[in-house]
Amino acid sequence: MKRSRDWNETLAAELRDAEFAREFVAGLLDEGFSLREALAKTIRAYGVSEFASKAHIASPNLLRSIRPAGNPTQKTLEQMLKPFGLRLAVASQAQRKKRHSAA
């Protein structure tokens, strides 16, 4: 149990660094997770209460947004992405394929 707790505490601390958090979210997306799933994993690892405060979202609303049946609004997604220095955007499929082939 200690190993898992240490790993979780280390990950939570590392997610406070916006660059690390961006890469963590991007990595989850590259692995095939949906944006909601990637944010849910990241926010839970960060700490829901702490992240809710940072994102200026009430904890119960944040939890509803990241649960499996959650369907966050665009505004809520933008609020969840902002602390990581991310934003919603549209990109062509060609750009996405180019990014994957470069990796």
User: Which has the minimum average pLDDT: 6-10, 54-58, 87-91?
Assistant: 6-10
Q: How confident is the model at residue 10 (pLDDT cuts 50, 70, 90)?
A: confident
Alpha carbon distance 45, 62 (integer Å): 14
- Please report, for the chain, the start and end positions of each structural domain, with discontinuous segments joined by +: 2-102
Angle at 57 between CA 61 and CA 71, to 5 degrees: 40
Q: Is 78 helix (H, G, I), strand (E, B) or coil?
A: helix
Angle at 45 between CA 41 and CA 46, to 5 degrees: 115
Q: Is 17 helix (H, G, I), strand (E, B) or coil?
A: coil
Residue 1 has pLDDT above 50, yes or no: no
Which pLDDT score is estimated for 76?
Answer: 93
